[in-house]
Structure 1
Amino acid sequence: MKEKKVTAYIENVLGNMPEDWLKLTTHRLDIYNEKLAKTEFLEQFENLYKTNNAEKSALSELPTAFDYIRLGHPLSSVLEWGIAKINNLKPDNIISFSSRTAPVLAVLRKNLFDARKTRIAYIDELPEFFDFEALKHVYGYDFELLKVEKLEDIKEFEGSTIFITKADKTSDLQLNSNVDFLISLQGELGSIIIINGEKNESYISEIQHVRRRETIAMTPADSFTALQTLVGKKPSTSQNTNYKNNKESVTNSVQEITATSSKVLLGFCGLSVQYAIMMGLIDEALEKHKGKQIKIIVPPNCYGGTNDQARRVAACIDNVEILDLPVDGDNDMVQSTDKVLQQVAEEGAVPFIIAEIPTNPRVEVPDLEKLREVLSKERKTSSGEVANDPVFILDQTFCPNIQFCGEDGILASIRTISYVSGSKFPSGGKCTAGYCVANKKADSLMHNIDKHLQLCDNEATALQVEILAEQLPSMNQRIKDAYKNTREFVSFIEATLPEAKINFVSEELANEGFTPSVFSLDLPTKGNTAEERESYKRALNLKLIDMMISRIPNESKYCVSYGQLKGCYWTIPATSTQGTTKEDDKDYIARVSVSPDLDLELHKKVFSDFVKQISN
C-alpha cells in the first residue's frame, strides 16, 4: 500500500515538475541555504507528499537541493527519497552517482584514513573499468576482493564490506547485516550506493564530498529515467543514437578552437576532468620517476573545487605534497612560479602546476612571455643533475578561446594540459561536461589521463556530448558578444562609481584575445577599523546583489555560473566558488558574469539607483 502511494505521488511529480529540474544545472538559487541544502528541499518535499500536493506551482517553490548538479539536484534528491521511502530507509543513506566506480572510491578513501579494512564483494564479473590494480598502486587504497554466488554467501568481516550488484531494481533492495554498503549499478545511468545501518552513517558526508569534488550526482535526465523505472513506467527519454557523430563533432570543434590535433577527453564536469589529469600524471610519475617526490603546485585562492581536490589527492598518497603558488593581488604569478620551481628542482621532485588564466576571481593575466621563460628554464637539483621539467595544468575556463596549446601557442615549448569546465561557455550553462587537450609536447600524457577518466567512470554522458555538439560551434561568437556587453557595463560602473575597484582585463589584453565576460567588484567602504570597513563592504556586496536579482528577476541571478546564454549572474567567491579555501585566502568581493543576451540598459539603471542609495 505504501509503495503504491509513493510511486503514484512520484509519477504525478514527474508529470508536473518545473522544466528547470530537467534542463538547468542550478535551480532556485534565490532560495538557497547551503547548510540546509538537501534537508530543506526534502523536508518541504515530504510535506507536499503528505498532503498529496504535486502541483507545478508548489514544486516550483521548493528551495535548491544542494548547490549544483555535481553534488545533487531536485531529481536526484527525489530519486534518493523515493528509493528510501519504498525500502523503509533514510533518504540521507541513499546517494546517486553518474559514475559506477566513484562510490567504491569514496568508501575506500574514508577507510584509508580510518585505517579500516575493506572487502569488495560481487557476483559474476564487474565492468572492465574496475581497475583494482590501479586503485591499489596509484590511489593508495587497500582492500580485498570476494567473488560470491549469492548475497547470502557474504559472511561477517572485521571491517567494511561493499557489495556491488548489477541488479538495477531499486524498489526491493536486498540488504543484510554483513553488507555495509550496497552499490547498485544502474547501467548507463550510473549507480546508487546504500549506506546500511546507523554504524555507517559517518560515511555519508565523505561519500557526498567525493561526489562533489571528483564526479557528479546522477544527471537530471538520467535521474528522470531512473524515477520512471522506479514507478514502473517505460522511460520516455530515448537513448541517444547519434553519440558517435556528436562526439566526433565535439572533438572537431575543440581541436579547431584550441588549434590542436590532441586527443580530446570529455568528462562529466571540469573537476572530473581535472581529477583524471591529476591521477594520470601521478600514475605517469610513479612509473617513470620511481621513488621521487611529486609536488602539486596550486594557488591557495583559486577555485575552491580545484584547491580542495588537489589537497584531497595529496592527502591520500604518501609521496605527493601540495605547494602554494600565490598569484593574485600583490603576488606575481611569474615570480611565484620561478621561486617554487626552483625549490622543487633543488629537491629533485616532480612538479605539476595548476593555474587559472585569467585568475579567478581577480581576472588577472600574467606576463605570458615571462611565464614561458620561467616554465621552460632548465634547472638543476642540489646534486647538480638536470631537474624534472614541469607539467603545466591550465584551467582556461574563463577564456577557452585562447589557443595556448596550439603549435604557435605561447606555451608550445612547455608540457601543457589545458582543460575547461563545460558548464560555462562550451554549453552555455546547459550541462556540466568538461574537456581537456594537450599540446604536442604533452601529447604522450593523454593516454594515462584517459585511463583514469575511464577508471573513475567519469566520461561525459551521451546527452552531455549532444549538448556540447550543439553549443560549441557558436562559442567563440558568444564570447565576443558577452565581452562587448561586459566592457560596456564595466565602463559604466567606472564612470558612475569611480571609487569602486574593478578587476577586469585591460584593453591591451583584450586586443591580445583575452576577452572574458566576468569581472570582480570591490565596492567602496568606510569605517574606523579594518573590521568595520570589511563588514561594511560585505553588507554592501549583498545589498547590490539583492537589488539586482529583485529588480531584474528574469535576468539577474544569484549564481556561480559563467558563460550562460542569457542574463547576468552574481556571486561572492568567498561564499561560493571558494567554499573550501582557507579563510585568509578568500575574496569577499562581488563577482559578476555577463552574457551575450541581456537588457544592459536596465542593469545600468538599477546600478545607478544603487549608487544613489549609498550616496545619500
Structure 2
Amino acid sequence: MENSKTLQYIQDLIQNLPTGWLNITTHRLDIYNEELAKTEFLDQLEGLYQKNVVTAEALNGLPTAYDYIRLGHPLSCVLEWGIAKLNDIPAKNVIAFSSQTMPIMAILRTNAMENKNTQIYFNGELPDSFDPDLIQKIYGYPFELIQVDSLSSIKPSELNSTVFITNSEKIGCFDLNHPNAPHIDFFISLHCGNYTGDLGSVLLVNGEKNERYISNIQHVRRRETIAMTPANSLTALQLLVNTPYEISNTDDKRENKIKVQNLINLITGTTTKSLVASSGLSIQYAILMGLIHDAKEKHQGKAIKIIVPPNCYGGTNDQARRVAACTENVSIVDLPVDGGNDMVKSIDQVLTKIASEDAIPYIIAEIPTNPRVEVPNLNQLKAVLSQERKTTGGQIAIDPVFILDQTFCPNVHFLGEGEALSAIRTISFASGSKFPSGGKCTAGYCVGNKNTVNLMDKIELHLHLCDNEATELQYAILAEQLPSMTQRIIDAYKNTREFVNYIHSTLPDAKINFVSEELAAQGFTPSVFSLDLPTRGNTDEEREMYKRALNLKLINLMITEIPEESKFCVSYGQLKGCYWTIPATSTQGTTKEGDKDYIVRASLSANMDLEKHKKVFLDFVNSI
C-alpha cells in the first residue's frame, strides 16, 4: 500500500514539476542552509507527501536542496527519496551519480584512506570506463574483483568491505530481502543501454554500520564528479513510475561533441583537442590525475607539488588538497596571489624552492583571480614560468605545468601561437555553468597548447576512467550557447563597468575590486566585481561585524526590491539578471577561515534592468 502511494505521489510530482528544478544550475542562498543540505528539502517534501500535497506552488516553496546542481538538486533528491521509501531505508543512504565509475571510486578512496581492502562483486558487465589496473596503479586503491552469477554466489567477509554491482533495467531495484543482502555493504546499480540512454548510477549504503561512509561518498560526488543530472533524474523517475520517457540519440551527441570542440578551439584560439566534462571540477580532477599519471611514468619516485592559491574557489582548493591527501608523493604548496600579494613574485619564489628539491610543479591559478578580480603582468608571468631553474645538485629542474582557470574571462587567448602562455606547458579550463552555457548546465572544458598534447592524452584517459565526460544534453546546451558567448561577455562587461562607475560615484569610500580600463583594453572584460563596503566601529571586531551586516543588508535589499532579476546566488555568466554572494560563505565554503573574503561579489549579465539596480543601490547608500 505504501509503495503504491509513493509511486503515485512521484507520478503527480512529475506532472507538477517546477520549471526551475529542470533548467537552472544554481539555486537561492537565501533559502539554503548548507549544514542541512538535502535533509531540510527532504524533511519538508516528506511533510507534503504525508498530507498528499503535490501542487507546483507547494513544490516551488521547498527550500534549496543544494546551492549547485552538480552537488545535488531537487530531482536527484526526489529520486533518492523515492528509491529509499520503496526499499524502506533512510533517504541519506541512497546517492545518485551521473558517473558509473565514481561511486565505486568513492568507496575505494575511503577504504584506501583506512587501509581496508575492498571486494567488488559484479553481475553482468562492469562500466566500459572501469580500468582496474589504472585505478590500482595511479590512484593507489587496493581491491579484489570477482564476477558472480547472482547474490547467492557471494561469500560473506567480516574483514573486507563488500560491494555488489549490477546492471539493471529497473531503477532503484535492490534485492535487500535476499539472505546474502546483509553481507553486502554497498549496492551499486548501473543504468545504461537503449532503454535509458546513459543515466548514471545509484549507490545504496546498506546498514547502519556503513552509514559512516555517507559523508565521504557525498564529498566525492561534491568534488570529483556530479550528481545524476536533472534531466537524467527526471528520466529515472519516469522509469520508476512507468511513464513515457525519451530515448537518447547517440548521433546527436556525436555531432554536438564535434561542434563544441570546434567552438572551444575558435573561442580560445587553439588548434589542439579539447575535452568536455560533466562540470568544471570534473575536468579539473581529470587534469590533476592525468598529470600525476604522467609524472609517475616519467619521473618515478619524485615528489609532486600542487601549487594552489589558499583563497581561490573552494572547490578547486578542496579538491587539490583531497587529491594530495590520498595520493603517494603528492603535496600542496600555498600560492598567495591577490589581496596585496603579487602572483608573479609568489610563483617565482615557489618554483625556485621546488626546483631546489627536484620536485614536479603543477600550478593552479585563476586569471582574473577570484574574488579580487586581479590580473598579473602577463609578460612577467611568461618570464617567470619560462625561467630555467636548477636543482641543488646542479641539474635542470622539471619545468612547471600551468593549469589556468579562466572561468571569469574564457574568451581571452592565452594559448595560441604567439600568445602569452603559448611556449609554457599550459592547460586552460573553464566552468561550464558560467559563460559557456549561460547557467543552463554544469559541463566544463579544458584545452592545452601545443606543448601539452601528450598530457592531454593522459587527461582524456582519466576523464574516461572516471566516466565524467559531458552528457548528451550538456553537449547540446553548449553547442547552442557557445556561439553567442563572446558577444555576451562583451555586453555583460559594459553593464558591469557602468554599474561599478556608478557605485564609485555614489559611495566613494567603498573599495571596488575590478579590472582597470587598461586591462579591459587588453581583452580582460569580466562581468564580476567585489565590493568592500565602508565600515565603522571602535575595534577591528566591531568594524568587521558592522561590515558583514552591511553586506547582507545590501544583498537582501537587492533581492527583495528586484526579485525578478537579483538573486542571492553564486553563479556568473548567466543569461539574465544579477547575482550576489559573499565568497566567504559560498564559493569559499571549504577554504581556511583566515583566507576567506567577507566581501560582496556581484555578477551582472547582458540582459538586466541596470537603471533599477542603480536606483536600489542609491537607496542602500542613503540608508547608511
TM-score by length of 2: 0.97
1:53-92 alignment, distance < 5 Å:
53-92=53-92
Corresponding residue SS for 2:553: helix
Q: Does 1:410 align with 2:411?
A: no
Amino acid at match of 1:464: Q
1:260-299 alignment, distance < 5 Å:
260-299=270-309
Q: Does 1:593 align with 2:583?
A: no
Corresponding residue SS for 1:528: coil
Amino acid at match of 1:282: I
Tell me the distance in 1 between the aligned counterparts of 2:449 and 2:552: 42
Aligned partner of 1:180 in structure 2 is 185
Q: Does 1:564 align with 2:583?
A: no
Tell me the distance in 2 between the aligned counterparts of 1:403 and 1:456: 29
Aligned partner of 2:118 in structure 1 is 118
Q: CA deviation at 1:283?
A: 0.1
* Change beyond 3 A, Cα 1:81–1:542: same
Tell me the distance in 2 between the aligned counterparts of 1:275 and 1:474: 28
Identity of aligned residues (%): 65
Aligned partner of 2:621 in structure 1 is 611
* Change beyond 3 A, Cα 1:182–1:242: same
Q: CA deviation at 1:413?
A: 1.1
Tell me the distance in 2 between the aligned counterparts of 1:583 and 1:134: 36
Tell me the distance in 1 between the aligned counterparts of 2:174 and 2:455: 42
Corresponding residue SS for 2:288: helix
Q: CA deviation at 1:450?
A: 0.1
5+ residue gaps, structure 2, are 193-197
1:431-446 alignment, distance < 5 Å:
431-446=441-456
Give the alignment's Cα RMSD to 1 decimal. 1.0
Q: 1:317 aligns with which of 311, 327, 336?
A: 327
Aligned partner of 1:468 in structure 2 is 478
Tell me the distance in 2 between the aligned counterparts of 1:163 and 1:253: 41
Deviation >4 Å, runs of 4+:
236-241
5+ residue gaps, structure 1, are none
Corresponding residue SS for 1:381: coil
Aligned partner of 2:165 in structure 1 is 164
1:189-338 alignment, distance < 5 Å:
189-236=199-246, 239=249, 241-338=251-348
Amino acid at match of 1:137: K
Tell me the distance in 1 between the aligned counterparts of 2:251 and 2:50: 40
Q: CA deviation at 1:236?
A: 4.2
1:387-426 alignment, distance < 5 Å:
387-426=397-436
Aligned partner of 2:394 in structure 1 is 384
Tell me the distance in 1 between the aligned counterparts of 2:291 and 2:250: 32
Corresponding residue SS for 1:252: helix
Q: CA deviation at 1:29?
A: 3.6
Aligned partner of 2:499 in structure 1 is 489
Tell me the distance in 2 between the aligned counterparts of 1:126 and 1:13: 33
Q: Contact 1:240–1:463 (CA<8 Å) still a contact in 2?
A: no
Q: Contact 1:352–1:393 (CA<8 Å) still a contact in 2?
A: yes
Amino acid at match of 2:167: K
Q: Contact 2:125–2:167 (CA<8 Å) still a contact in 1?
A: no
Q: CA deviation at 1:90?
A: 0.8
Q: 1:510 aligns with which of 501, 520, 525?
A: 520
Aligned partner of 1:38 in structure 2 is 38
Tell me the distance in 1 between the aligned counterparts of 2:125 and 2:250: 26
Tell me the distance in 1 between the aligned counterparts of 2:441 and 2:431: 10
Tell me the distance in 1 between the aligned counterparts of 2:347 and 2:507: 35
Tell me the distance in 1 between the aligned counterparts of 2:491 and 2:152: 62
Q: Which moves more between the two structures, 267-276 or 246-255?
A: 246-255
Q: Contact 2:101–2:127 (CA<8 Å) still a contact in 1?
A: no
Q: CA deviation at 1:178?
A: 1.4
Q: Contact 2:25–2:442 (CA<8 Å) still a contact in 1?
A: yes
Tell me the distance in 2 between the aligned counterparts of 1:168 and 1:587: 48
Q: CA deviation at 1:237?
A: 6.5
Q: Which moves more between the two structures, 3-12 or 488-497?
A: 3-12
Q: CA deviation at 1:238?
A: 5.0
Q: Contact 1:213–1:309 (CA<8 Å) still a contact in 2?
A: yes
Tell me the distance in 1 between the aligned counterparts of 2:246 and 2:297: 47
TM-score by length of 1: 0.99
Aligned partner of 1:16 in structure 2 is 16
Query: 1:521-551 deviations in whole A, cap 9, x for unaligned?
Result: 0000011111111111000000000000000
* Change beyond 3 A, Cα 1:240–1:11: farther
Aligned partner of 2:464 in structure 1 is 454
* Change beyond 3 A, Cα 1:66–1:14: same
Corresponding residue SS for 1:173: coil
* Change beyond 3 A, Cα 1:97–1:231: same
Q: Which moves more between the two structures, 238-247 or 353-362?
A: 238-247
Q: CA deviation at 1:240?
A: 6.1
